[in-house]
Amino acid sequence: MLADRLSPERIRRATFIERLTVRRLPWEWLERLNRYGALLGKIATVVWVAFCASIVLGVDWKETVEAAVNSGKPVKGAVGLAFIVPTLVFVGLRSGLGYCRWRIQRELWRRDVERLSSRAPATGARAAPSSVPAEELPPRAARP
């Protein structure tokens, strides 16, 4: 029973959420989404680090929060609000982005494993490019 749960076939099988989302996308879109996700993650991290650095360097976010939240009137806990809310937003967005990239990378891996395990070595046959799964190549009769 444990061997069945840890078998490669069970691990490679797409989950219900993956079948409804990433499994429907073509290979090129998955690659593009993975690149954009990596870029967005780096940008979000730089923005958050810059925000934390501005707090350390002495930017007074308390006045900005008071002006935005309470029309300039003093707010209890404005300093905590000025730091905690952006941090929670960053953690939430970064976690969601990480989850999406994990699903995309898992689908890329799954398709690559399917392509490599179904391909038999044949002499003289045109091999699939390394970034395109076999099922997305045209049939042999349609190839130039």
Residue 22 belongs to a domain: yes
- Residue 35, pLDDT score: 94
What DSSP element (H or E) covers 123? none
pLDDT > 50? residue 109: yes
DSSP alpha helix (H) spans, 1-144: 2-5, 8-12, 16-20, 27-57, 61-70, 78-118
pLDDT > 90? residue 40: yes
Residue 56 belongs to a domain: yes
| Both structure tokens of 36 | 């954009």
The pLDDT-based confidence of 37 (bands split at 50, 70, 90) is very high
- Residue 10, pLDDT score: 63
Find tokens 């044949």 and name the residue: 122
Residue 132 belongs to a domain: no
Percent pLDDT > 70 in the chain is 70
The pLDDT-based confidence of 125 (bands split at 50, 70, 90) is very low
Residue 144 belongs to a domain: no
Residue 121 belongs to a domain: no
Is-contact 48 87, C-beta < 8 A? yes
**CA neighbours closer than 13 Å in the CB half-sphere of residue 98:** 8
Residue 75 belongs to a domain: yes
If one counts the domains in the chain, the total is 1
CA separation (Å) from 126 to 122, 132, 141? Answer: 9, 13, 12
The Cα–Cα gap between 75 and 79 comes to 9
Q: Give me the domain span that covers residue 102.
A: 16-111
For residue range 71-105, what is the model confidence (pLDDT) as tens digits?
666 777 766 777 888 889 899 999 999 999 999 99
Residue 28 belongs to a domain: yes
For residue range 44-78, what is the model confidence (pLDDT) as tens digits?
999 989 988 988 888 877 777 777 777 666 777 76
